[in-house]
């Protein structure tokens, strides 16, 4: 498996609290992504990064922010968590975004917002 570490693996928090999820890679890949996975919705892109300090929104970015200060780290922040943000969050990486680039996924973070 690709060198991708997500932390924490599990998180329970209360509505209105801030939460930060971390993705760390050892592959020196340029692109990093945050997805959420929910029953009936599959994988939906939240935000992605194409380099240090370069990020863009995905399909479901409302309520989330990201930062990438180093190539290896991509942080996802929920400024004020809501119950609708209860989900499994996956980080993914790829070398590029061209037509031949495949994604490598981390093991996921199960987030429960009570």
Q: CB–CB of 82/63 below 8 Å?
A: yes
* Alpha-carbon distance values, 84 to 4, 58, 74, 78, 108 (Å): 26, 17, 22, 11, 18
Task: Tell me how far, at minimum, the Cβ of 84 lies from another protein, in Å.
Answer: 18
Between 37 and 80, CB nearer to another protein? 37
Helix, strand, coil percentages, rounded to 5, for the chain: 5, 55, 40
Nearest to another protein of 2, 52 (CB atom): 2
Summarize as ranges the residues that interact with another protein (CB under 8 A). 40-45, 48, 56, 59, 90, 97, 99-100, 102-108
Q: How far is the CB of 52 from another protein (least distance, A)?
A: 19
Nearer to another protein, 41 or 70 (CB): 41
DSSP character at residue 85: G
Smallest gap from Cβ 80 to another protein, in A, equals: 27
Q: Give min distance, CB of 29 to another protein, in A.
A: 14
H or E element at residue 114: none
């Amino acid at each position: 498996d690709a060198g991708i570490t997500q932390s924490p693996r599990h998180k329970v928090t209360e509505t209105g609290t801030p939460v930060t999820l971390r993705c760390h890679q050892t592959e020196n890949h340029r692109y990093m992504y945050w997805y959420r996975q929910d029953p009936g919705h599959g994988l939906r892109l939240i935000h992605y990064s194409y380099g240090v300090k370069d990020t863009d929104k995905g399909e479901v970015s409302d309520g989330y922010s990201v930062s990438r200060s180093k190539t290896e780290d991509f942080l996802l922040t929920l400024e004020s968590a809501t119950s609708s943000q209860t989900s499994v969050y996956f980080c993914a990486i790829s070398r590029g975004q061209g037509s031949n680039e495949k994604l490598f996924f981390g093991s996921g973070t199960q987030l429960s917002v009570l």
